[in-house]
Amino acid sequence: MAAKTEEKGPSMIETFQEFKETKNIDRTTLVSVLEESFRNVIAKIFGSDANFDVIVNPDKGDFEIHRNRIVVADGEVADENKQISLTDAQKIAPDYEIGEEVSEEVNFSKFGRRAILNLRQTLASKILELEHDALYNKYKDKVGTVVSAEVYQIWKKEVLLIDDEGNELHLPKSEQISRDNYRKGETVKAVVLRVDNENNNPRIILSRTSPKFLERMLEAEVPEVSEGMISIRGVARMPGDRAKVAVESYDDRIDPVGACVGVKGSRVAGIVKELCNENIDVINFSNNIQLYIQRALAPATVTSITVDQANKKAEVYLQPDQVSLAIGRGGMNIKLASMLTEYTIDVFRVVGENEADEDIYLDEFSDEIDQWVIDAIKAIGLDTAKAVINAPREMLIEKADLEEETVDQVLGVLKAEFEQ
């Protein structure tokens, strides 16, 4: 019966070896935790662990426990944990004498099934806590860097990836490029966006839409950037569609735009492919905000700019044929320019001598056009009647998110004002 009970009880060697292959924990910390766990159980059983030596070997997955006791004369044992009678000592080795120290290996399995189970649970809890701490610290230091991981599961709201150490990384739907197509087992690149740590349970969040991802990709592809000769001063993205990058050179001999783009776009070609054919415009950064905004609105040619630095707003005036270029398809160009420069940009059409009619702010049409419609149009950078009239109809529909019928009604009201 005793043999059967021992077989059913948990094996200490098996229990210990469960924690041999721990992730992200250095050897010294692991040894310390294992030893502390053993000593806690020993102290509960014997009252003290001071006279015990605990030797753990995480490489082999085994351990030894030795109890050290002083030999005393028979009948004079006051503390059985720290003292041993001469007769009992000589059963271990016949040459022991009074006053000597006896080191005896302790069979932990004799402590009982409950003690072993308690140790097993304590070890599991502490090792798991250490693994979580180590994982959190590891990826906390990697925030803003690019990592590669293998697709493990594809869900509706996120993709679960596994790194080379088996750690779980999460790529939410909101951080995926719309044209991304994932297959289980393939390797995906993304930037570490943040590390959440709820109840000591780290959750690593990746992103492929973050401007930092494009910035890190450029650093990897352009030696002048990684070596510090060229600085990336700003990145604005509409993931999967278009991006604008502002660069600055610290060496007058280096053309920062040419260096980043490469011959016939060779240096950005790989990045464009990685980002699902996202077009990348690279421009020269300038501390002159007017010049910076002008460059950001390329390919449009700007006639003049009025800047309100206190409110970070800019009014840009262009020839009629440049307005649509400044705004871009679906308002993409002006939106990216605003994101890059961190200025609210309003576009105005330059009026010729034969078009000297005074422009009118949209708010003045509130008696004929619903206020929410006016607010939606102003939100895309169009504040005046002529700016709206000269903007592409498709842009008003897409960017302002208005119905075709609503846009046609607005255009009709505004045009009628100038036909009077």
CATH code reported for the domain at 2-137: 3.30.1480
User: Using N-to-C axis directions, what is the helix angle for 332-341 and 289-296, rounded to 10°?
Assistant: 150
Q: What is the pLDDT of residue 352?
A: 62
Q: What is the pLDDT of residue 47?
A: 85
Q: What is the pLDDT of residue 35?
A: 83
Q: What is the pLDDT of residue 18?
A: 57
Q: What is the pLDDT of residue 10?
A: 44
- Exposed / middle / buried, residue 36 (Cβ in 10 Å: 0-12, 13-18, 19+): middle
Q: What is the pLDDT of residue 305?
A: 93
- Tokens 């846009």 identify what position? 407
pTM of the model: 0.68
CATH code reported for the domain at 150-209: 2.40.50.140
349: tokens are 């059409």
Torsions phi, psi of 275, nearest 5?
-95, 25
Q: What is the pLDDT of residue 15?
A: 54
Q: What is the pLDDT of residue 1?
A: 33
pLDDT, averaged in runs of 10, over the chain (420 residues): 38 53 65 81 85 80 84 89 89 89 82 76 80 88 95 94 92 94 94 90 94 95 92 95 94 91 90 93 95 94 92 89 85 93 87 62 87 90 82 79 90 82
The CATH fold of domain 287-420: GMP Synthetase; Chain A, domain 3 (3.30.300)
Sequence ranges of the domains in the chain: 2-137, 150-209, 287-420
89: tokens are 């000592």
- How far CA 375 is from CA of 244, 312, 371, in Å, comes to 27, 19, 6
- Tokens 């402590």 identify what position? 111
Q: What is the pLDDT of residue 174?
A: 94
